[in-house]
Chains A and B, each alone.
Chain A
Amino acid sequence: MTSVGAVVRDPGSSIKNKTGSWRTFKPTLDKEKCIDCGNCILFCPEGCITKDYDIDYDYCKGCGICAEECPVKAIKMERE
């Protein structure tokens, strides 16, 4: 088939671009304090917090929404 326009055949291929390098402030989660509410997972613009609450620093841009929305303040933002 002749293609008109730009076709990308590799779904989700933006993972090649590690946006973690943009980060100035790094979130760290204290799992002892975590109450498993899921707010940080739901509100992460990158979708880079797993169901086990592991933050993927390859993509985390350090926006700080997770820390802001954590009801028990279990996430700290620290300058890298």
Chain B
Amino acid sequence: MEIPEKELLAPGHRACAGCGATIGVRLALKMLGENTVAVSATGCLEVITTPYPETSWKIPWIHVAFENAGAVASGVERALKAQGKDDVTVVAFAGDGGTADIGLQSLSGAMERGHNLIYICYDNEAYMNTGVQRSGATPYGASTTTTPHGEESFGENKPKKNIPMIMAAHGVPYVATASISYPEDFMMKVQKAKEVEGPAYIHLHQPCTTGWGYDSSKTIELGRLAVETGSWLLYEIVEGEFKITYRPLERKPVNVYLEAQKRFKHLADAEKEKIQNYVDEICAELKI
């Protein structure tokens, strides 16, 4: 696969050392190219890339509120169409909070109306920018500042909301999950999303050194462990057709993923077993 050299996200941004979100955006922009307009919901990405009066973006970019990335991306797409600029790609970037919780209604509307746009959710599994509060995408057992573990609690007590499947239920032509640790798989999916006529949704899993609690050098390794343990799945749904795009040769026990992170360190064996059973169930169904 030919990977374009050109960087469309400039350095100097304020992301934590070892940030997974900026890796994801860099890779996505390489495939989307210069003829792209980006929309960002409130979140880490917006804060770190645009400390006024500076910007890291080398393409037109607009920041909108937490809840309306889907709506604004729709508007941008229609405005470009009205001007006859059909060749411009419109992409929205939002975090898991801006996607699974606050922006879900406007995203659902955009998907339903069938706009020709790409929506990429960079999922670090909590509200990292404001100090690690749980979101709908926080996985079972994770300790966050609003689901702290202690005598009364083992952390988040609900499973991760399955946003890609909610998007697939809209009947859009392209839905995919991806991980920054599998860049070729991710970039191939961005390319497909770009080529598709109509809405495309990519859910990008990206480890967060600050919120998950691991050394900054391990960002890629953690993303890989998520996939190799079956905790995160790589698939795509093209015109309703579901396909796994990567199968680990031998699935590792979830413990190796959980124990590498501070947010899961407190878990008792019973909870870890519950997580393993949950992963086993899904993987059995998908033959992973």
Which residues of A pack against B, CB within 8 Å?
6, 8, 10-19, 22-23, 38, 42-48, 51, 56, 58-59, 61-65, 67-69, 77
**What is the CB-to-nearest-CB distance from B10 to chain A, in angstroms, rounded to a whole number?**
4
**What is the CB-to-nearest-CB distance from A39 to chain B, in angstroms, rounded to a whole number?**
9
Q: Is the CB of B217 within 8 A of A61?
A: no
Instruction: Scan residues 3-28 of chain B and give those whose CB is less than 8 A from a CB of chain A.
Output: 3, 5, 7, 9-15, 17-20, 22-23, 26-27
**What is the CB-to-nearest-CB distance from B226 to chain A, in angstroms, rounded to a whole number?**
16
Instruction: Scan residues 35-82 of chain B and give those whose CB is less than 8 A from a CB of chain A.
Output: 49-59
Residue in A10, A58, A63 whose CB lies within 8 Å of B217: A63
Residues of A within 8 A of B19 (CB): 45, 63
Chain A to chain B contacts (Cβ below 8 Å), 15 pairs: A14-B12, A17-B14, A22-B17, A45-B15, A45-B219, A46-B13, A47-B7, A47-B22, A47-B26, A56-B11, A61-B18, A63-B219, A65-B217, A68-B217, A69-B221
Q: Is the CB of B56 within 8 A of A12?
A: yes
Assembly CA distance A75 to B47 (angstroms)? 31
Q: Is the CB of A11 within 8 A of B59?
A: yes
Q: Which of A10, A45, A58 has the most CB of B within 10 A?
A: A45
Residues of A within 8 A of B14 (CB): 17, 19
Q: Is the CB of A6 within 8 A of B53?
A: yes
CB of B248 closer than 8 Å to a CB of A: no
Residue in A12, A17, A38, A62 whose CB lies within 8 Å of B17: A62
Residues of B within 8 A of A10 (CB): 53-55
**What is the CB-to-nearest-CB distance from A53 to chain B, in angstroms, rounded to a whole number?**
13
Q: Is the CB of A18 within 8 A of B12?
A: yes
Residue in A12, A47, A63 whose CB lies within 8 Å of B18: A63
Q: Is the CB of A11 within 8 A of B57?
A: yes
What are the 6 closest A-B residue pairs judged by CB atoms, nearest first? Answer: A64-B217, A12-B10, A63-B18, A14-B12, A59-B11, A61-B17
Assembly CA distance A22 to B7 (angstroms)? 22
Residue in A47, A56, A61 whose CB lies within 8 Å of B9: A47
Q: Is the CB of A14 within 8 A of B18?
A: no
CB of B131 closer than 8 Å to a CB of A: no
**What is the CB-to-nearest-CB distance from B69 to chain A, in angstroms, rounded to a whole number?**
16
Residue in B20, B53, B58, B215 whose CB lies within 8 Å of A64: B215
Q: Which of B17, B23, B49, B218 has the most CB of A within 10 A?
A: B17
In the complex formed, the residue of A with least CB distance to B218 is: A68
Q: Is the CB of A65 within 8 A of B22?
A: no
